[in-house]
Chain A
Amino acid sequence: MAEQLELGINGERRRVSVERDTPLLYVLIDDLGLEGPKFGCGLAQCGACSVLIDGREVRSCVYPAASAQGHEVITVEGLPGWHAQRSGNDEREPPLHPVQVAMIEEQAPQCGYCYGGMVVKAAELLAGNPSPTDAEIVAAMNGHLCRCGTYPRIVAAIRRASEAMRA
């Protein structure tokens, strides 16, 4: 049976009608037209689908959409606004999150498919720990897979973003 859900996605109220057991990822992609979170495994193993829910990274491929009601969902597309709000800026078109800027500066992605989740996870890390050590970065990111092998540049980008955010 389809059910009406009201979800807070990237700062907007969105209404959808979905089957009760639908994972959040399918709602984000198919109902809301978002392209940032990706289907990678459907098993919560790879992190391509990661989003923030109330600031914590979750795997949207296994997270029931219905459980997201009453919570704030942020996808990679919403990270600039989320960061601006947390930093006390209310710009209409906020600039990219410092992690996104740093990943471009490091020329980190190759195919880029895992980056929707990578960026979200890195943003979660820096929100809780503004000055992570490399070991802390690796520990935080270790549940996210990148088959192109861009890990070293992601670590460098997070380090760079951390410095930029403290500057």
Chain B
Amino acid sequence: MTADASRRSVLKAGGALLIGFSLADLAWAQPGPPQGPDRNRIDSWIAIHADNTATVLIGYVELGQGCTTALPQVAAEELGLGMDQVRTIAHETGVTPYQGGTYSSSAIARGRPQVQLAAAEARQELLRRAAERLGAPVGALTVERGVVSAGGRSVTYGELVGDRPFEIAFTGTAKPKPPAQYKLIGQPAARRDLAAKVAGTHGYVQHVRLPGMLHARVLRPRGQGAYGSPPRLLAVDEASIAGIPRARVVRLRDFVAVAAPREWDAVRAARALAVEWERGETLPGEGSLYDHMRGNQATDAVIEAEGDAAAALAGAAFAAAFEGETPYQAHAPMAPNCAVAEVRDGKAQVFCASQDIYALRTALAGLLGLAADAVTVRFEESAGTYGHSLYDDVAMAAALLSRELAAPVRVQYMREDEHGWDTFGPAHIGKVAIGADANGKLVGYSYEGWQHSWSFTETTDQLARGTEARTWPMGPSRSVNPAVCGGMYAIPNVRLVDHALPGAPYFRAAWLRSPLDLSFAFVSEQAIDELAQAAGLDPVEFRRRNIADPRWRGVLDAAAGASGWPGAGSRSGDVATGQGVGLGTHLSGWGGAVAEVEVDRRTGVVRVTRLWGALDAGCAVNPAIVEAQIVGQLVQTVSRMLYEEVTFDRAGVTSLDWASYPVARFADCPEIVPIVVQHLDQPSSGAGEEVMAAAAAAIANAFFDATGTRMRTFPFTPERVKAALAA
């Protein structure tokens, strides 16, 4: 893939999608204000072409989850076009509208109503014009694949609008189609990006090349230390790379990088460059992390208080308490992050894989001292990132290096950079106490969580400018989550408390797929099982008794039913088997899971052999994609429960590759049954991370069913399992 700085070629580089037509040719597609094109105008969302096709401009980016198929599906449905008549263009600030960042599984949950509304407004205007043209009332018109007909006459959308702007704002009067009329929504349309992905021709950000571009590598100590204590660069010996042709060193305070016209020369130079760092023993160290967290000064906040949880727990007929500790885990994308930037003549253009190109544009403008509208950020897909990995950090590095070297620069992180300097999903300590009455009805619930919030400042910014290490205030996805911590049950007395820790001296952190929910469910749902056992009830039956919401009941019954619950476990012998159930979600949606595990008591090796996951995401626009997302979530949950853990000593991270940070492989993959609980008449909720918490809990409960032992931390490594079984 090649690209240059002009907008026209950028749009043309969008490829065959824009056959013979470029939005750049139209004045109305020129860059908008920093917030992006006006979201209340049809032209910001939809262009109708002369050939009776449409381009939908969407703000949500493709992270591998399939939204660049499902959102066009929504637009095609509303416009009355076929899937083959609707295309999208690359995401770019000023061109594609701002719909919010592509996180919290929001692309469909928030994006569907936005696209639906824009398409409904467009359709209303198209029908108004068609009615005029055909001399028939709007109510008499029918639409089939963009052909509007009435009384034997017809006109196409292309003839009505054909490559001209609508030039109208939303009227607020357009009504999206009722679900009963859906033809495309709810159907499994094939993903549009997969053919190129298996042919090896799909362009990723790693493939962007600009004329005169230099390849750069960034140097950092192997493995980060504590956030807020960045390493200091004491000395750089440029003579150490004198033998590498045209390799150059760039140093900005504690930020150091090498660049060369040829990529391998940049790699060699990064390896050869003699650099002296000063880094202290800034971390608590792996063995004392949780003690450090418990002993640190926390800021307490009540997240939810209903009734009197303490009194209810004191008077409960059955009670269970559980405390768990869960580790830092890494995003570890298959592709180390990469970005290409060109900073020239007071303008910057950056190609990157950010989840939020508009927020990054603001950050880059600040970094470079430019106005926001002098910065263009263009999204190019990278490997799945599952949350905030180093995509913004690498974009900042590329921008700074381009400015310093007065040339386009491509920065590609190496594996150890990505694993070592990731913004990890934070560690957590959870303490839960739950009580039930004599009938097995929950009466009181208390959850306390110790964790720190997300890190605001990217490492590049810290090193290059000495920018203060700021931490986000607590909030959803980093505080105790009411939806996962007992929220699926009808409980009269609830108390949820955050013990928010400071960001330092811990690791840089950010959202990692289903942020903290695996931890919350691991703690909470194990206690629910303990309570069921105390009350002498089957875990599924106990949950049924305490669920009031039919949506929770639906996913529980779907997963339990599909699995043939209760299965027959075997606790005797060297290899024990067991089944477990769990419920959970992220912020919206309903997830239920059943796991079957096998534990080898001699070796401590745990295998998840079968996994059922039911997800109610409301209206699943494309159920085939939701099904694929369930499979992916379940495999990743197995990975996070059995294998994944950031390791470190007092100086820094020591899990720097796939050997020291193992993830699930083919052989570790259970037999998986994904279940989409469809509700076409409901709003869509997230579908990319809402069944992981349930699966995490199901795996933990299955381990107990097999062994009679509760795991109090994950991942369930053989050493840890043997120690737990011996205790």
Q: Is the interface of A mostly helix, strand, loop or mixed?
A: loop
Does any Cβ of A come within 8 Å of B437's Cβ? Answer: no
Do A110 and B65 form a contact, CB below 8 Å, given A77-B199, A77-B200, A147-B636? yes
Most A CB within 10 A of own CB, among B198, B262, B265, B412: B198
Give the complex CA separation of A22 and B265 in angstroms.
9
Q: A123 CB to closest chain B CB, in angstroms?
A: 11
Q: A157 CB to closest chain B CB, in angstroms?
A: 9
Interface residues of B in 220-272 (CB under 8 A from A): 262-265, 267-268
In the complex, what residue of chain A is closest to B265 when comparing beta carbons?
A19
Does any Cβ of A come within 8 Å of B672's Cβ? Answer: yes
Binding site for A on B (CB under 8 A): 1, 63-66, 190-191, 193-195, 197-204, 206-207, 215, 262-265, 267-268, 332-336, 381-384, 386, 412, 414-415, 624, 628-629, 631-636, 639, 657-659, 663-667, 669, 671-672
The answer on a CB contact under 8 Å between B334 and A147 is: yes
The answer on a CB contact under 8 Å between B268 and A46 is: no
Interface string of A36-69 (1 = CB under 8 A from B): 1111111101101000000000000000000000
> Which residues of chain B are near A116, meaning CB under 8 Å?
200
The answer on a CB contact under 8 Å between B658 and A153 is: no
How many A-B pairs have beta carbons closer than 8 Å: the answer is 180
> Which residues of chain A are near B63, meaning CB under 8 Å?
111
The answer on a CB contact under 8 Å between A41 and B628 is: no
Do A35 and B657 form a contact, CB below 8 Å, given A107-B194, A149-B634, A151-B666? no
Does any Cβ of B come within 8 Å of A18's Cβ? Answer: yes
> Which residues of chain B are near A119, meaning CB under 8 Å?
198, 200
Q: A18 CB to closest chain B CB, in angstroms?
A: 7
The answer on a CB contact under 8 Å between A26 and B264 is: yes
The answer on a CB contact under 8 Å between B335 and A149 is: no
The answer on a CB contact under 8 Å between B198 and A115 is: yes
Interface residues of A in 101-127 (CB under 8 A from B): 103-104, 107-116, 119
The answer on a CB contact under 8 Å between B263 and A109 is: no
**Neighbour of B262 across the interface among A30, A114, A145, CB < 8 A:** A30
The answer on a CB contact under 8 Å between B663 and A145 is: yes
Do A104 and B198 form a contact, CB below 8 Å, given A19-B268, A41-B658? yes
The answer on a CB contact under 8 Å between B335 and A39 is: yes
Residue pairs across A and B with Cβ atoms less than 8 A apart, 20 shown, are A21-B264, A35-B204, A36-B201, A38-B206, A39-B206, A40-B334, A40-B336, A41-B415, A45-B657, A104-B190, A107-B191, A110-B65, A112-B194, A145-B663, A145-B665, A147-B333, A147-B636, A149-B639, A150-B632, A152-B635
Q: B699 CB to closest chain A CB, in angstroms?
A: 14
The answer on a CB contact under 8 Å between A48 and B635 is: no
> Which residues of chain B are near A155, meaning CB under 8 Å?
666
Interface residues of A in 121-162 (CB under 8 A from B): 137-139, 141-155
User: Besides the contacts A107-B624, A111-B334, A147-B636, what 5 more A-B pairs have beta carbons closer than 8 Å?
Assistant: A40-B336, A76-B199, A103-B194, A149-B636, A151-B669
